[in-house]
Chains A and B, each alone.
Chain A
Amino acid sequence: MASVTYNHVTKRWGDFTAVNDLTIEIPDGEFLVFVGPSGCGKSTSLRMLAGLEEITEGEILIDDRVVNNVPPKDRDIAMVFQSYALYPHMTVYENMAFGLRLRRTPKQVIDERVRSVAASLGIEELLDRRPRQLSGGQRQRVAVGRAIVREPAVFLLDEPLSNLDAKLRVEARTFISKLHQRLGTTFIYVTHDQVEAMTMGQRIAVLNAGKLMQIDTPTHLYDHPNNVFVAGFIGSPAMNFFDNCDLVMDGETMYVDTGAFRVHVPDERIELYRPYLGKKVIFGMRPENIAHVDFPPPGVETVAPVEANIDVVEEMGHEKILYLEEGGKTFLARVDPRADVHVGQRVQVVFNMDVMHLFDAETEQALQ
């Protein structure tokens, strides 16, 4: 059991900055997810914590101990790798026992622990097999088993699900979440998949180009993204952005003018946005908050719908995803499956402006 602190951590390779001034505090027992596109520095951050990369600047603490110069084996961590990195010439049992043997754990204790962990993961029958005789899902469990058998204070996972097929991945997600609940250990999980991040993380740290963009709970990230990057990264399909918009007042009401159409800003936000009158803003709206005019969500006014051309209709069964175009602006809408829509038609959609997002066009920061 341990907390982890990144204190102004920077990693450089020559001129390239992989991680830039990262500061995060991870309390004991938290499930934290590092998420971001490839090359954002998330794996490097994890590997620095594991002791597999040197830290250029700043310090990393496990509990209250600075571990910058502590070798991996003395950090009380265990790690699951993307390729699982099972030792190919050892049996599953030997793979799991390897770390314990190196720590001179008594044979009997090793045997007990390996067998009980194997039982809890449902891999007892595999103990005598070698990694190459296992399926992808089994290998993944063995890799997790090898890590938890050591009973580490911090548990690191580097994209452990990316080698699994879609169905196994969903199963493995719940498996890892349950494991965290059962062990109560600090979990730090790296992924590029925002669905994994959202479903598993208690808090999510979104990284981009080596910088921490935002760290928050999944719901808060989704509802209140700090900037355009987080807004676009979290949520699938991604949020619609309308660049180059103007805020205009028409009497007592405020509108966002996208150039192609105007939408009505809720009255309670007028004071918040007033300083930006006359400045360029980016208007963001999630596809799930744009509805067909015949099936509006409760509380959404349908008086001034937006008209647009339908380019593509994706039938998902439980919903339809419309690719819309109006005056050179393209955007997506997730509408009720009963909506009668066809490619080439004009359609009327309504925006749920209570959950609108506005960003400064220059800084790309949210106006909030």
Chain B
Amino acid sequence: MTYYIRHILARITTHVILLAFSALALFPVIIVAMNSLKPRREIFRSPYSLPNPIDWSGYDTVFQESNFVRYFGNSIFVTGTTIVLVLLISVMAAYALAEYRFKFSSVIALYFLAGIMIPLRLGTISLLDTIKAMGLYDNLWALILIYTAMGLPVAIFILTDFIKLLPHELIDAARVDGASELRILFQIIAPLLRPALGSVAVFNILVWNDLWFPLIFIQTDKLQTVTLGVSKFVGQYKINYSAMLAALTMAIVPMLVMYIIFSRQLIRGLTAGVSK
């Protein structure tokens, strides 16, 4: 009986803590969404009240005064391409690092590790020079290349470890069966890496939120991303809060969708190896 009570108490405690944490994490999101539906006066008078009546003027402004759909499309293009490139390149690099012993393999592994430790933003000035020299200034591919470079070190680090955990006899079996190295990687290894690939994808969705690089590399209005576009509503003397919050609310949606799709994989990825 006492065991049963303790068991219940433990479960209640766990859930209280988890609920508190969820509330903490969701609070800003809900406040943003709620206030995006209020006029400016309302936002400051009672920021925590439910919108009454619902006021869509913020959303109207966003669609009328900015190229929001275009920004949104740009962000999806940049984020999506980055994730695809990071996954593709990192899985190939990780397979090589995990599977082959070649002359500088450990040096290359360390080189990638160094990439985790050095913040890329420190090199913004020289990046600007490089990008200009490549003729990619004011081009979305500049962002994609930078984000891909930013995402690769962690991705390679995670995937190399995962590949090393896979039973090596699978690779041997595929070789005897007659599979080429590329086929082994994409038909045998990659499907087994799904949890790890999910984690890597989720980590890289975060480039959606970046303001720094678009601010520096993108000038043309039609090429701006959501975060950069939203900053338009922050003027020097006047901030259009309704419009900004409306744009941010819409910007959260794809993140949520992606997270819901990948979260199962993410959890599996983070806890892999904990138990058999």
A and B: partners?
A: yes
List A141-165 residues whose CB lies under 8 Å from chain B.
146, 150
Stretch of B75-83, B174-182, B261-269 contacting A (4+ beta carbons < 8 Å)? B174-182
A249 at the A/B interface (Cβ < 8 Å)? Answer: no
B260 contacts the other chain (CB 8 A)? no
Tell whether, in the assembled complex, residue A102 and residue B179 are in contact, meaning their CB atoms are under 8 Å apart: yes
CB within 8 Å of A: which B146-183 residues: 167, 169-170, 172-179, 183
In the complex, A172 Cα to B191 Cα: how many Å? Answer: 31
Q: With A89-B191, A89-B192, A102-B183 known to touch, is A83 a contact of B177 (CB < 8 Å)? A: no
- How extensive is the interface on chain A, given as a class? 20 to 34
Neighbour of B176 across the interface among A79, A87, A88, CB < 8 A: A79
Known: A99-B177, A99-B178, A102-B179. A87 touches B172 (CB 8 A): no
Of the residues A47, A51, A102, contact of B177 by C-beta under 8 Å: A102
| Residues of chain A in range 32-54 having any CB-CB distance to chain B below 8 Å | 47, 50-52
| Cβ of A103 under 8 Å from chain B | yes
Interface size on B (CB < 8 Å)? 15
- The DSSP consensus for interface residues of chain A is loop
- B170–A87 contact, CB under 8 A? yes
| Chain A, residue nearest B173 (CB) | A85
User: Is A73 an interface residue, CB under 8 A from the partner?
Assistant: yes
Contacts between chains A and B (CB distance < 8 A), count? 54
Contacts of B175 in A (CB 8 A): 51-52, 71-73
The answer, among B170, B178, B183, for a CB contact under 8 Å with A85, is B170
Give Cα distance in the complex from A82 to B167, angstroms: 11
Q: Does B216 contact A (CB under 8 A)?
A: no
Q: When A87-B188, A89-B191, A102-B183 are in contact, do A73 and B167 touch as well, CB less than 8 Å? A: no
A68 CB, nearest partner CB in chain B, Å? 16
Given A88-B192, A89-B191, A89-B192, are A82 and B178 neighbors across the interface (CB < 8 Å)? no
Q: Which residues of A contact B179 (CB under 8 A)?
A: 73, 98, 102
Which residue from B167, B170, B176 sits with its C-beta under 8 Å from A52? B176
- Whether the Cβ atoms of A73 and B178 lie closer than 8 Å is yes
**Cα-based distance from A89 to B186 in the complex (angstroms):** 12
| Closest B residue, CB atoms, query A77 | B176
A146 to B173 Cα, complex, angstroms: 10
A77 CB contacts on chain B under 8 angstroms: 176
Residue on B nearest A84 in the bound complex, by CB? B169
| Docked CA distance A286–B167 (Å) | 41
Q: Mark A58-85, 1 if CB is under 8 A from B, else 0.
A: 0000000000000111000111011101
Query: Which residues in window 169-220 of B have CB below 8 A to A?
Result: 169-170, 172-179, 183, 188, 191-192
**Using Cβ atoms and an 8 Å threshold, which residues of chain B touch A88?**
192
Asked if B176 contacts A72 (CB within 8 A), the reply is yes
Cβ-defined contact, A85 with B192, below 8 A: no
- Known contacts A88-B192, A89-B192; A82/B176 CB under 8 A: no
Q: Are B176 and A73 in contact, with the CB atoms below 8 A?
A: yes
| A positions within 8 Å CB-CB of B | 47, 50-52, 71-73, 77-79, 81-83, 85-89, 98-99, 102-103, 146, 150
> Closest 8 CB pairs between A and B?
A73-B178, A99-B177, A85-B169, A85-B173, A102-B178, A81-B169, A89-B191, A79-B176
